[in-house]
Structure 1
Amino acid sequence: MSAIGSPAPGFSLPDQHGRTVTLADFRERASVLLVFYPFAFTGVCTGELQELQARSAVFQSEDVQVLGVSCDSMHTQRVFSDQEGLDFPLLSDFWPHGAAARAYGVFAEDKGCAVRGSFVIDPSGIVRWSVINALPDARDVHEYVKALEAVRSTGTGH
């Protein structure tokens, strides 16, 4: 698992439009809110991502890049993104199946998907905050906001 204060594992994943997105793309430019979710089109996942979308302008104005990640295919991510009106990247951790989720310690082997793991990564690539919830348990978007404020105000998130 990615421990607080440790370098975040790098990744290179296609987004819902087929563009390759890497963690390094945001180095020294923005903090990253990395949100792993189990499956597109499920109730809790949809609700969580809609909450992030509702706050996307605030995140962008504060130099925060939201990245959603699931083991769904790029094509599934595209339809889901279009249907829900999501304007942030949804990354496909489809193949090798769950490699990014495994690197972050949030892959459920028995289910074949990511659990609800979220990570705040500062612009230098260090994990500053994380929360991991079980599949049925939605995360609180207000916790993201507090964690990102801590990173911004102290430069470390502590």
Structure 2
Amino acid sequence: MAIEVGDQAPDFELRDQHGTPVKLSGHRGKKIVLIFYPLAFSGVCGNELDAIRDELIADMPEDVKILTVSVDSTFAHRAWADQKGYTFSLLSDFWPHGQVARAYGVFDNEKGCAERGTFIIDGEGVVRRRVVNPISRARDIAEYRKALTDLP
């Protein structure tokens, strides 16, 4: 079942690249850009997360938090974050495999990983924007910047 605009975002708790638990509801009051991506160390994913690091975070308001999620382990996320200089949260949906991606309706059962799903969540935990791209098609980071500025 896919999460749609206007739905309450399903809460979750996953570990980031440092092994620290991160709970979605722990960020109430902030706008969340929740980004699901297929796999670390892959070309399109790397280009997207580089754009988040270089373009989106640079002029992002303080009340916005970036959370990225893939089925990779915390160890893979740590190695990738260290190599690429990612300072935002890379959350591991490793076990149970893809459980959070499934809750948001963006898990690809055939490939065993998440599709490129992005959910912009307001401070009350309501999904205000949902975009799901096929695994092979990169996101438009400028689109998310505009969507964030349109939120109250």
Determine if the TM-score, normalized by the shorter chain, exceeds 0.5.
Answer: yes
Report the equivalent of 2:100. Answer: 100
Instruction: Specify the code of the residue in structure 1 equivalent to 2:13.
Output: S
Report the equivalent of 2:138. Answer: 138
Give per-residue Cα distances to partners, 1:68-101, cap 9 Å, x unaligned: 1000000000001111100100000000100000
Q: Normalising to structure 1: TM-score of the pair?
A: 0.93
Unpaired segments of 5 or more residues in structure 2? Answer: none
**C-alpha distance in 1, partners of 2:3/2:59?**
26
SS at structure 2 position matched to 1:49 = helix
Instruction: Specify the code of the residue in structure 1 equivalent to 2:28.
Output: R
**C-alpha distance in 2, partners of 1:3/1:135?**
19
Report the equivalent of 2:10. Answer: 9
Give per-residue Cα distances to partners, 1:115-151, cap 9 Å, x unaligned: 0000000010000001000011000001101111111
Instruction: Specify the code of the residue in structure 1 equivalent to 2:14.
Output: L
Verify: 1:39 aligned to 2:42, yes or no.
Answer: no
SS at structure 1 position matched to 2:58 = helix
Report the equivalent of 2:122. Answer: 122
**C-alpha distance in 2, partners of 1:65/1:58?**
12
**C-alpha distance in 1, partners of 2:83/2:68?**
15
Question: RMSD of aligned C-alpha atoms?
Answer: 0.8
Residue 56 of structure 1 deviates from its aligned partner by: 1.2
Residue 62 of structure 1 deviates from its aligned partner by: 3.9
Unpaired segments of 5 or more residues in structure 1? Answer: none
**C-alpha distance in 2, partners of 1:130/1:64?**
16
Instruction: Specify the code of the residue in structure 2 equivalent to 1:137.
Output: R
**C-alpha distance in 2, partners of 1:41/1:91?**
15
Instruction: Specify the code of the residue in structure 2 equivalent to 1:52.
Output: I
**C-alpha distance in 1, partners of 2:115/2:17?**
20
Give per-residue Cα distances to partners, 1:27-62, cap 9 Å, x unaligned: 02x100000000000000000000000131322x34
**C-alpha distance in 1, partners of 2:148/2:130?**
11
**C-alpha distance in 2, partners of 1:149/1:5?**
18
**C-alpha distance in 2, partners of 1:147/1:16?**
27
Instruction: Specify the code of the residue in structure 2 equivalent to 1:44.
Output: V
Instruction: Specify the code of the residue in structure 2 equivalent to 1:77.
Output: H
SS at structure 2 position matched to 1:72 = coil
Structure 1 runs of 4+ aligned residues shifted over 2 Å read none
**C-alpha distance in 1, partners of 2:113/2:96?**
12
